[in-house]
Structure 1
Amino acid sequence: MGPHEGLLHLKEYDIKDSNVEQIGNDIDHRVKYASAATEPAWDDGIVGKEVGLFIWRIEDFIVVGWPNDKAGEFHEGDSYIILHSYKVGEGEHQKLQHEIYFWLGSKTTQDEAGTAAYKTVELDEFLKGATQHREIQQAPSDAFLTLFPQLKILGGGVKSGFTHVEEAAPQGVTTLLRIFKLSTAIMVVEVELTWKSLDDGDVFVLDSGQKIWVWQGGSCSPMEKAKAAQVVHEMTLAKHIDVEVISQLESRSQILVGLLGGQDVQQRHFQCARPVSSIRAKRPSKLLRFSDASGSLLLDVVKDGQSIKQHDLESKNVFLLDIAGSVWVWKGKQASQGEKATWLRAAQMYIKQLQDFPDSYFTPLASVTEGSESSAFLRAVEVS
C-alpha cells in the first residue's frame, strides 16, 4: 500500500483553525473537572463512588435527575444520560468501573443532543475515566439493552409537554403501544395511531379512552403476551376501565382494526417494520489509526477485512475499530490530546462515509481508554 493510500481526509476538522491545541492538556482537564465537580446532577457524594444505575434527562440545557421508578422509560423527543457503575476484579484489586451512555430520541432537538454529548464528556472528566457510548433510539446496542429488563419508548418529550395524541388520530383513541422482544429486552414502543402500525408477530395495546384493548398478533410469543398483561395492569392501576384481550385469529379482532381507522380493511395479515431494531449492517472488520500530525485529522486504514486483535493497538495512537456492527474508538495512553478529544466527531464522520450501507447512521458508537476497556469491547475484539 502506498504512503497515501487508505487515508481518509476529514476536512471538517482543521486542528489549527479549530483552536483545539489546548484540548486535553493538564490545564484543560483541570478546567473541565472543576466545571464537572460543581454540576449538581452528580455532585451528590454518591455518583462515581457507588455501584448503580443513574439516569438524567436534558431539560433546557440542564441535567435533571430521572425518577428511579421510570428507569427504562424514555421519550422520543428527549435526550438522556445513563451512568452504569459496577465493580470489576476481586479482593484488593477490585475497582469501580463506569460506562456512560447518552441516548438520543428520534425526535430530540439538536440542542438537547449536543448538551447530552457535552455533559457526557464532563461526567467522564468527573469520574476520571469511563467508557462512553452514543445510543440512537432506533438501534440500541446490546450493552444498552442489558441495562433494563424492558425498554418503554413513549411519544412526546419535555418540549411537547408529553403530548402523545396526534391531531389526525381516530376520535377517542389516545395511545397505541407495540410490544415485542428485541435481543435481551422486551420493548414497549408508542407507535402511530393507525391500523397500518399492526403486525402479525407482535402484541398491541390500544387505549381507546373508554376501554383498553389487547390485540395479540397471530404469531406473537408467550413472552410478549405476558409483557402486555403487565403493561395493561399498570395502566388499569392509574384508571379503572374495562380490558378486552383478543387474538388476531378471532373475527372480533376486526373491531380494533376499525378503531384505528381501518373499518373497510379486509386483509387478514398485517406487516409493519419495527420502530427499533438490533440488526446490524454486515460490514468487513476495519481498523483505522487517527493522526493529527499534519494539522488536519486523518484516518489511516491499518486493516481492512482482516481479524483485529488487541496487540494491533499501540499506546501512542488512537484507533477506530469497525467490528461486529459497532464502531469503537480506542484511546492509547500516549496518544496526542487532540486525537483523544475529537473521537466522537471523527467517528461520526467515518460513519457518514459508509455510503454503501444506508443504515450506517444507526451504528452504535463508543470509546474506551487503554487499561480501562469494557467487557463489551474485549468481546468484540475477541470475535472480530
Structure 2
Amino acid sequence: MTGLVKAKQYDWKDSNLALFGSDTEKQVKKESAESEPAWKGIGQKPGVQIWRIVKFKVASWPKEDYGKFYNGDSYIVLNTYKEESSDELLYDVHFWIGKYSTQDEYGTAAYKTVELDTFLDDKPIQHREVQGFESDLFKSYFDTITILDGGAESGFNKVTPEKYEARLFHFCGTKKLVEVRQVPRAASRLDSGDVFILDLGLTIYQWNGRGSNKDERMKAMQYLIALKDERRGRAKSEVLEEEGLSKSHEFYHALTEEDVPDEAENMKPKDLTVELFRLSDASGKMTFNVEKTGSVATSDLDSKDVFIVDTKRAVYVWIGLDTSEAERKNAMSYAHKYLQNTDHPLLSVTCLAEGKHDKQIRIALSA
C-alpha cells in the first residue's frame, strides 16, 4: 500500500504568477469580461460575493460556506459597499491563495481578478491575499474564518459519519474575529491559551485550554453544535477542560498524527524598516529602484510613476495618474517579484490608483 503524499506548499520563489499583469500576459478586454457567466448581475448592491477557481473556471461558492476556505484552493472575494452620505457603489476585490493551491489555480484567480476589475469599470481596489497573512480588511468580512485541509471536493457532506476522517480544529482569536484552522492531529499542537475541537465523526470533543477566552469557547461551541446538526443527531459530544483532565482520556489517545511544521511560519520580515520603490520606464527601459527607506508620506509619490511601498505588514502598489501603460500593466507583477526575493513573500498586496483611492493610501502610509 502506498502512503499518502502531502501536497506541496506554494513555492513563492518559483511562481508563474510573476507573469500576472505583465506584457507577456494576455490583454484583458472588456468584451471578455462581459462574456464571463460568473460576473452577470454582480456588484449591484452592498454585500460580499465569493467564487472558487475550478479547472481554470470561476465557480460560485455557496453562501452557507462563506468564511470557509480550503487550503488546496484559490478564491475570488468581491465586497460591494457604499460610503456614508453617498449612493455610489464601491468595490474591493481580493484573490485568496491557499497554501496548497496550484500555480494554475492562483494564476487564474489573479487573472480573473483583473478581469473582474475591468468588468466593474476599474473601480475596485485589487488585493492579493495569502493564507495565514490575510489583510485586516479581508478578515473583517467574516465573523469566523475557517481553514480546512484539501480542496472543496474533500468536504465530508457526501459520506456517512462512520467514514469521516478524524480532524483537529484550532480556535484562536477574540470577539472581533476567531480564526479556525484545521491542524495536524498531534498532541504538540495543543495550546493552553486556545480551544480545540477533535472531530471523530460520531464523537466530537471540545477541549478548552486553561487560558482560553470566552470568545474562543463560544465560537467552538457554535461550531460543535453545527457539526452535530450535520450528523442529524447521530454524533455525541463532550466539552473537556484541560485543567484536571486525565492524560488517559480518549481525546489524548486520538492525537496520533505526526506534527507537520508550517513553512509559512518562518516567512516573516526580520527588518521592519518601511521601504519605498519606484517603477519607471522614463529612461526608455523599465527600472525598479529603492526610492526611500524609513517614514514614507504621500508627498514622496510622483504621478508619473508607479510606487511600491513595503510596510513589512503589507505591500501597497500605488499607480500615478500619468503613468505609462507598460508601468501600469507591470505594477502588480513587480510587486510580486519583489516579494519573491524577500524573507516575507506572503504579505498581502493592495493596488491603489491615484485619484480614486487617495484616502486609502493616506491611511496605509500613516499606519
Scaled by the length of structure 2, the TM-score of the pair is 0.83
2:107 is the counterpart of 1:99: no
From 48, 57, 63, the counterpart of 1:53? 48
- Given that residues 80 and 89 in structure 2 are in contact (C-alpha distance below 8 angstroms), is that contact kept between their aligned partners in structure 1? yes
CA distance in 2, matches of 1:59, 1:75: 12
- Which stretch of structure 1 is more off in the superposition, 171-180 or 342-351? 171-180
- Write out per-residue CA displacement over residues 249-290 of structure 1, whole angstroms, 9 at most, x where no aligned residue: 12336421111139xxxxxxx9x9898899876521121111
- Report the counterpart of residue 378 of structure 1 in structure 2: 362
- Given that residues 58 and 112 in structure 1 are in contact (C-alpha distance below 8 angstroms), is that contact kept between their aligned partners in structure 2? yes
Deviation at 1:199, TM superposition (A): 1.4
The SS at the match of 2:181 is strand
Deviation at 1:338, TM superposition (A): 0.8
- Report the counterpart of residue 151 of structure 2 in structure 1: 157
2:343 is the counterpart of 1:349: no
2:171 is the counterpart of 1:179: yes
- Report the counterpart of residue 4 of structure 2 in structure 1: none
Structure number with bigger Rg = 1
Amino acid at match of 2:240: I
- Report the counterpart of residue 352 of structure 2 in structure 1: 368
- Report the counterpart of residue 101 of structure 2 in structure 1: 108
- Which stretch of structure 1 is more off in the superposition, 235-244 or 309-318? 309-318
Deviation at 1:300, TM superposition (A): 2.5
Deviation at 1:342, TM superposition (A): 1.2
- Given that residues 22 and 333 in structure 2 are in contact (C-alpha distance below 8 angstroms), is that contact kept between their aligned partners in structure 1? no
CA distance in 1, matches of 2:322, 2:252: 61
- Given that residues 132 and 368 in structure 1 are in contact (C-alpha distance below 8 angstroms), is that contact kept between their aligned partners in structure 2? yes
Structure 1 stretches of 5 or more lacking a match?
1-11, 165-170, 263-269
The SS at the match of 1:314 is coil
After TM superposition, which residue ranges in structure 1, 4 or more long, deviate above 6 angstroms? 272-280
The SS at the match of 1:204 is strand
CA distance in 2, matches of 1:274, 1:187: 19
* 1:152-301 pair list within 5 angstroms: 152-158=146-152, 161-162=154-155, 174-181=166-173, 184-239=176-231, 240=233, 241-252=235-246, 254-255=248-249, 256-261=251-256, 283-294=272-283, 296-301=285-290
- Given that residues 330 and 370 in structure 1 are in contact (C-alpha distance below 8 angstroms), is that contact kept between their aligned partners in structure 2? yes
Cα 1:337–1:273 change in 2 (3 A) is closer
Amino acid at match of 1:283: L
Cα 1:301–1:128 change in 2 (3 A) is same
2:121 is the counterpart of 1:128: yes
- Given that residues 139 and 277 in structure 1 are in contact (C-alpha distance below 8 angstroms), is that contact kept between their aligned partners in structure 2? no
CA distance in 2, matches of 1:297, 1:222: 54
The SS at the match of 2:80 is strand
- Given that residues 215 and 253 in structure 1 are in contact (C-alpha distance below 8 angstroms), is that contact kept between their aligned partners in structure 2? no
Amino acid at match of 1:39: E
CA distance in 2, matches of 1:258, 1:224: 24
Amino acid at match of 1:284: T
The SS at the match of 1:135 is strand
CA distance in 1, matches of 2:323, 2:247: 61
CA distance in 1, matches of 2:64, 2:240: 30
- Given that residues 213 and 244 in structure 1 are in contact (C-alpha distance below 8 angstroms), is that contact kept between their aligned partners in structure 2? yes
- Which stretch of structure 1 is more off in the superposition, 329-338 or 209-218? 209-218
Deviation at 1:293, TM superposition (A): 3.5
- Report the counterpart of residue 326 of structure 2 in structure 1: 338
- Report the counterpart of residue 302 of structure 1 in structure 2: 291
Amino acid at match of 1:37: E
Cα 1:134–1:73 change in 2 (3 A) is same
CA distance in 1, matches of 2:359, 2:268: 21
2:77 is the counterpart of 1:82: yes
- Which stretch of structure 1 is more off in the superposition, 188-197 or 373-382? 373-382
CA distance in 2, matches of 1:22, 1:174: 43
Identity of aligned residues (%): 34
The SS at the match of 2:185 is coil
Superposed CA RMSD:
3.1
Amino acid at match of 1:372: K
- Write out per-residue CA displacement over residues 163-184 of structure 1, whole angstroms, 9 at most, x where no aligned residue: 79xxxxxx98621111111794
Amino acid at match of 2:276: L
Cα 1:374–1:135 change in 2 (3 A) is farther
CA distance in 2, matches of 1:275, 1:210: 33
The SS at the match of 1:335 is coil
Amino acid at match of 1:189: R
Count of residue correspondences: 338
Cα 1:375–1:73 change in 2 (3 A) is farther
Cα 1:351–1:182 change in 2 (3 A) is farther
CA distance in 2, matches of 1:280, 1:218: 32
From 295, 303, 318, the counterpart of 2:306? 318
Structure 2 stretches of 5 or more lacking a match?
1-15, 158-162
- Given that residues 79 and 112 in structure 1 are in contact (C-alpha distance below 8 angstroms), is that contact kept between their aligned partners in structure 2? yes
Amino acid at match of 2:35: T
CA distance in 2, matches of 1:180, 1:279: 20
